[in-house]
């Protein structure tokens, strides 16, 4: 195993290794010293076989920039490793230290000895790595333990790449086999974390999108995307194209502005509705690449301290692009990568949570089998966010505890503790949200026994009596996560705790009445960010439960339910209404055919069209033909004279 592979396994970046007090020594030789020592070393000033030496001898210290193996001993956690090299290596080093001139005469033997020494050294590195994993508790693959002190919303770069997750499933050769030849021909200006540019995309040129730092306070940095004048003009044309309700107009706009983000988002939705998932995903990735190229140098995806205000329309495009990319990753079978995107969206504005990612993060954590992370998030945020009052967290956290108790690689006392905690939390969830049980069993095609179905606490009244806002949250959770409960072991555990709750209800437990009063007070009306999340989720059961004042609004895919306190940095210029300057014939045809526009209007709006003067007349003739084709004349039936009274049988 090479040092580069060792650093990669340990999660370290090059140049970030912990150094001990004597880990690195640079001994610069004068000319006199060099003559006393004998012939000068080879290229780079390094003496061969320096594995057991105190320092590295160099003539030109700048040559050390491209030298990798400067460290002679493996440094672990600030201390030198106590492993010893084989005797042949140590004796060889001593001999070379004493007889420097003899080394140059035996190059052939030194090469063979060096290769065997390197193999032995790599074997020692493997053994050291195993001891490090055993002592650190990382011997089992998977998410970090609960003792990890990283921020709960800390994002790892390597988990933002879906290829990292796919390699675990199918192997690196199957995932990267076809990508390596194309990467050599890539001519894009920078490397990005969120997506990989494709050779099929239009050549990237700055579309006029940038990011600026607004302020920094209390350890947080507040950023905002900016549109220059050129991008603003493209944005105005995009809004006109959206109002035309014609996707081809957006295609025409993308021909001149191929990296306009809102156009890519809207066209992606149109492709998705037409079942062209591949093109829809490709457009989202292009939008993501466009926005990442505009990042401020201080903007960090992983720190969890960078903020973007959702009230600014320029920032919303980044939120929605990340959300749509996360949805595609989940459907693609990459829940671990989707979880990292979810954490990233939540970290941009965790207090307001404009897309309400707390309604989704538990589902992705369970799908990714990252139970420890879900438990840690619940433990750290329950005190100030009341996560247990959300039905998804109330049921997902005990499920995570139960699934954790089913793992065989944990100590017995931890398994028992997790099982007890799971039972306690699921009983609290059933007491707080009794209307979840019967729909959940119906989703899972499980028929409950008569004791449960006939009891008043879990009967039909439990689902009917819950407030509409709570019913919407329940529908959202069940429509998204019901399949996680279908395993027989989970159903048996759920059945045991349902009977425990019924015994507590029959015994008159005061917690039952307290939960009922809490339900009536807390869930009066869902906030706007929950409605926005339901619209983006496209879960039919939850969308059907939206209130009428939301469903009657016009919802745009590039900006669903914008905040009421939007902060505008520029305003769209007012356009003259077509009614004010249109002629009588044009107004007549527009009243019959709303899509009809004259050539002058099309040129003014910049949607499409050319300088051909005959196009307006041609469009007018096509409109007349369409209008005449829609007219149907039905002959009036005249009553027959032989039956003027209309008598006869009724058909």
> Residue 425: is its pLDDT beyond 90?
yes
What pLDDT sits at residue 239?
92
307: left (phi over 0), alpha (psi -120 to 50) or beta: beta
Residues 19-67 pLDDT 10s = 444 444 444 444 444 444 444 444 444 444 444 444 445 455 444 444 4
State mean pLDDT over 82-92.
40
Beta carbons of 371 and 400 less than 8 angstroms apart? yes
Residues 352-406 have pLDDT tens digits of 999 999 999 999 999 999 999 999 999 999 999 999 999 999 999 999 999 999 9
Q: Which of 53-62, 303-312, 374-383, 509-518 has the lowest mean pLDDT?
A: 53-62
Tell me how far apart the 2 most distant CA atoms of the chain are, in Å: 137
- The shares of helix, strand and coil residues in the chain, as percent rounded to the nearest 5, are 55, 5, 40
Q: What pLDDT, on a 0 to 100 scale, did the predictor assign at position 119?
A: 44
Tell me what pLDDT residue 83 has: 40
- Determine the CATH number of domain 153-172+191-353: 1.25.40
CA–CA dist 234, 253 (Å, integer): 8
Higher pLDDT pick, 648 / 351: 351
pLDDT in tens, 69-81: 444 444 433 343 3
**Cross-strand partners of 27:** 57
Please report the pLDDT score of residue 597 as a whole number.
53
**What are the sequence ranges of the domains in the chain?**
153-172+191-353, 356-525
- Report pLDDT for 580: 44
C-alpha 322/C-alpha 125 separation (Å) is 40
Q: What angle do CA 607, 252, 233 make, to 5 degrees?
A: 55
Instruction: Please check the confidence at residue 576 and state whether its pLDDT lies above 90.
Output: no
Quickly state the pLDDT bin for 643 (edges 50, 70, 90). Answer: very low
For 229-238, what is the mean pLDDT?
94
pLDDT band at 213 (very low <50, low <70, confident <90, very high): very high
The residue with tokens 């996680």 is 484
pLDDT tier at 615 (50, 70, 90 boundaries)?
low
pLDDT at 299 over 70: yes
Quote the pLDDT of residue 624.
57
Partners of 271 in beta bridges? none
Q: What is the mean pLDDT of residues 119-135?
A: 48
Q: Which helix (H) or strand (E) holds 212?
A: strand 209-217
Arithmetic mean of pLDDT over the chain: 76
Average pLDDT over residues 337-358: 95
Q: How many CA atoms lie within 13 A of 395 on its CB side?
A: 28
Rounded to whole angstroms, the Cα distance separating 165 from 565 reads 40
Scanning the structure block, which residue is given the tokens 């990237």? Answer: 204
Tens of pLDDT along 135-181?
444 434 444 444 445 789 999 888 898 888 888 887 777 777 655 55
Burial class (CB in 10 A: 0-12, 13-18, 19+), 419: middle
- Integer Cα distance of 13 and 10 in angstroms: 9
Beta bridge partners of 26: 56
Percent of the chain with pLDDT over 90: 46
pLDDT at 644 over 70: no
Sole residue written with tokens 């006109």: 240
Q: Model confidence over 560-575: pLDDT tens digits?
A: 999 999 999 988 887 5
- pLDDT value for 593: 53
pLDDT of residue 124: 54
Q: How confident is the model at residue 112 (pLDDT cuts 50, 70, 90)?
A: very low
CA atoms of 427 and 419, how far apart (whole Å): 12
* Alpha-helical regions (H) of 444-551: 450-453, 460-464, 468-481, 488-506, 510-522, 528-537, 540-544, 548-551
308, β-bridge pairs: 223
pLDDT at 550 over 60: yes
For residues 59 and 45, the answer to whether their CB atoms sit within 8 Å is yes
- Judging by DSSP bridges, how do beta strands 220-227 and 306-308 pair with one another? parallel
Of residues 572 and 239, more confidence is placed in 239
């Amino acid at each position: 195993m090479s040092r580069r592979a060792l650093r990669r396994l340990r999660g370290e970046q090059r140049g970030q290794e912990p150094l001990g007090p004597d880990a690195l020594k640079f001994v610069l030789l004068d000319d006199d010293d060099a003559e006393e020592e004998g012939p000068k070393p080879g290229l780079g000033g390094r003496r061969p076989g320096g594995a057991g030496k105190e320092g590295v001898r160099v003539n030109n210290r700048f040559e050390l920039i491209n030298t990798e193996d400067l460290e002679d001993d493996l440094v672990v956690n600030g201390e030198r490793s106590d492993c010893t090299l084989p005797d042949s290596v140590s004796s060889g080093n001593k001999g070379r230290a004493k007889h420097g001139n003899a080394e140059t005469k035996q190059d052939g033997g030194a090469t063979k000895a060096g290769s065997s020494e390197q193999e032995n050294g790599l074997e020692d590195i493997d053994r050291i790595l195993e001891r490090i994993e055993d002592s650190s508790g990382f011997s089992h693959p998977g998410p970090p333990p609960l003792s990890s002190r990283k921020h709960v919303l800390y994002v790892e770069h390597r988990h933002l790449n879906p290829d990292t997750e796919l390699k675990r499933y199918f192997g690196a050769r199957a995932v990267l086999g076809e990508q390596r030849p194309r990467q050599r021909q890539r001519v894009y200006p920078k490397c990005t974390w969120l997506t990989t540019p494709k050779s099929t995309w239009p050549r990237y040129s700055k579309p006029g999108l940038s990011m600026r730092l607004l302020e920094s306070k209390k350890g947080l940095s507040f950023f905002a995307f900016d549109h220059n004048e050129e991008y603003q003009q493209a944005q105005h044309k995009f809004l006109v194209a959206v109002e035309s309700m014609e996707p081809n107009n957006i295609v025409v706009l993308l021909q001149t502005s191929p990296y306009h983000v809102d156009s890519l988002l809207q066209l992606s939705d149109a492709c998705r509705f037409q079942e062209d998932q591949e093109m829809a995903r490709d457009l989202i990735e292009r939008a993501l690449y466009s926005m990442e190229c505009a990042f401020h140098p201080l903007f960090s995806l992983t720190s969890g301290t960078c903020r973007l205000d959702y009230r600014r329309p320029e920032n919303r495009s980044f939120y929605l692009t990340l959300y749509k990319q996360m949805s595609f990753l989940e459907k693609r079978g990459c829940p671990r990568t989707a979880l990292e995107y979810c954490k990233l969206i939540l970290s941009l504005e965790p207090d307001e949570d404009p897309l309400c990612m707390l309604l989704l993060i538990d589902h992705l954590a369970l799908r990714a089998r990252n139970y420890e992370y879900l438990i840690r998030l619940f433990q750290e945020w329950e005190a100030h966010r009341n996560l247990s009052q959300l039905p998804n967290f109330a049921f997902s956290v005990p499920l995570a505890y139960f699934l954790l108790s089913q793992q065989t690689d944990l100590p017995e006392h931890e398994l028992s503790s997790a099982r007890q905690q799971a039972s306690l939390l699921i009983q609290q969830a059933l007491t707080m949200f009794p209307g979840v049980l019967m729909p959940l069993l119906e989703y899972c095609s499980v028929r409950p026994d008569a004791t449960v179905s006939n009891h008043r606490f879990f009967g039909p009244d439990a689902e009917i009596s819950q407030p509409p806002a709570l019913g919407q949250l329940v529908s959202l959770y069940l429509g998204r996560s019901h399949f996680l409960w279908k395993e027989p072991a989970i159903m048996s555990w759920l059945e045991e705790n349902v009977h425990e709750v019924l015994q507590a209800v029959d015994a008159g437990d005061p917690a039952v009445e307290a939960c009922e009063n809490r339900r009536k007070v807390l869930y009066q009306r869902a906030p706007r960010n929950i409605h926005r999340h339901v619209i983006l989720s496209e879960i039919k059961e939850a969308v059907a439960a939206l209130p009428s004042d939301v469903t009657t609004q016009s919802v745009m895919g590039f900006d669903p339910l914008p905040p009421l306190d939007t902060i505008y940095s520029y305003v769209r210029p007012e356009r003259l209404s077509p009614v004010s300057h249109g002629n009588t014939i044009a107004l007549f045809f527009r009243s019959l055919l709303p899509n009809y526009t004259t050539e002058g209007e099309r040129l003014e709006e910049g949607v499409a069209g050319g300088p051909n003067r005959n196009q307006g007349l041609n469009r007018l003739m096509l409109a007349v033909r369409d209008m005449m084709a829609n007219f149907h004349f039905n002959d009036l039936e005249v009553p027959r004279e032989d039956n003027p009274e209309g008598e006869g049988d009724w058909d």
